[in-house]
Amino acid sequence: MKTRNNGYDLTIALNGFQLCYDDVGEGQTPIICLHGFPFDKTMWQEQLDFLKSSNRVIACDIRGFGKSTDEETHLSIDLFSEDLIAFMDALNIDKAIICGLSMGGFIALNAMKRFQNRFEALILCDTQCIEDTVEVKEMRYKTIDDINNNGFTEFNEGFIESVFHKNSFSDKKELVEQLRVVVFANSENIIKKGLVALAERSETCSTLDEIVIPTLIICGREDEVTPLHQSESMLSTIKDSILHIIENAGHVSNLEQPQEFNEQLLNFLSELNNLDFEKINGKKRMV
């Protein structure tokens, strides 16, 4: 059973929890947007507002985050991927264009590896295909210990500082504060469970060459969380892929430079809708 509120904050029961999502606009193939850690679907509001006049756009709160509350289940990228497919099934969506930022990109790549026939195109934003190194994994578990001992304020503030371009702290104070509110809305428990999900994820680099659908890669020039060279590596392996670099942006390029980000989305979607993707088919472009 799903409940509707003018396309926003809809809820649907699946896989043992209530998933909350926005579903706006109309179009033959919906675009499903997956947020990063530890954010929620509101990070896609600029993209929903921009695209809904020409496309059906869906943004969902991943299990445990935002209004898709689940404090009990062991979280993993595999589970998030399975939730995505169950969500598509529940909405009778046979194929979608999947758009994921950071952790959302991990989920998109995991789903591509396991359920490739469910997707028509792929948009990877400020993300990467690698698994955590031993050192990074140890650091995540140390962070969990620190949160257990001291709470999550220090972690949250440090994470917020890491995701923005340095200029945003002076030029976009309202945006920074908005994201801070989203991050601190998570429970300590979900922050820790999310860190475990990130630490235990599997790599997807080894299957990138099996992706046969058009793929747009977007990365902020100053992304320190998933650095640009990771996007360039994915570009070199994924057939039919394009990389667009967003200047004056860090890890949350869709928030810091929404106009340019949206233009790149629209250009990509227009090429798909016009069946004109062959002009870049098989070629690598960095723009």
> CA-based angle 89:79:113, to the nearest 5?
75
Query: Reduced to 3 states, what is the DSSP secondary structure of residue 89?
Result: helix
The predicted model gives 137-155 an average pLDDT of: 98
Short-list 271, 273, 261, CA closest to 33: 261
Give the pLDDT confidence score for residue 279 in this predicted structure: 43
With beta carbons less than 8 A apart as the criterion, state whether 57 and 28 touch.
no
Could you identify the residue written with the tokens 């004109």? 276
How many of the other CB atoms lie within 10 Å of CB of 13? 12
Could you identify the residue written with the tokens 């601190």? 184
Give the helix ranges, DSSP H, for the chain: 45-51, 77-90, 103-114, 134-150, 153-163, 168-171, 173-184, 188-199, 228-237, 253-256, 258-273
The token pair at 61 is 């709160």
The token pair at 126 is 């400020």
pLDDT confidence bin for 276, thresholds 50/70/90: very low
pLDDT tens, residue by residue, 70-108: 999 999 999 999 999 999 999 999 999 999 999 999 999
Give the pLDDT confidence score for residue 5 in this predicted structure: 52
DSSP secondary structure letter of residue 74: P
The token pair at 231 is 């996007």
Q: Please give the helix or strand (H or E) that residue 124 lies within, else none.
A: strand 119-125
pLDDT confidence bin for 281, thresholds 50/70/90: very low
The token pair at 13 is 């029961």
With beta carbons less than 8 A apart as the criterion, state whether 128 and 152 touch.
no
Euclidean distance between CA atoms 76 and 196, whole angstroms: 8
This prediction has a pTM of 0.94
The answer on pLDDT for 110 being more than 70 is yes
Q: Please give the helix or strand (H or E) that residue 234 lies within, else none.
A: helix 228-237
For the chain, what percent of residues have pLDDT higher than 70? 94
CA end-to-end distance (rounded Å), the chain: 44
List C-alpha distances in Å: 160 to 13, 20, 77, 245: 31, 24, 22, 21
The predicted model gives 208-236 an average pLDDT of: 98
The token pair at 261 is 């980000």
Number of H helices, E strands in the chain: 11, 10
List C-alpha distances in Å: 31 to 66, 85, 184: 19, 14, 28
Q: What is the CA radius of gyration of the chain?
A: 18
The token pair at 233 is 């590596």
DSSP secondary structure letter of residue 113: H
133 φ/ψ angles, rounded to the nearest 5 degrees: -70, 165
- Set out the domains of the chain in order of their start, with CATH numbers: 2-286 (3.40.50.1820)
Short-list 130, 137, 186, 196, CA closest to 160: 186
Give the pLDDT confidence score for residue 278 in this predicted structure: 46
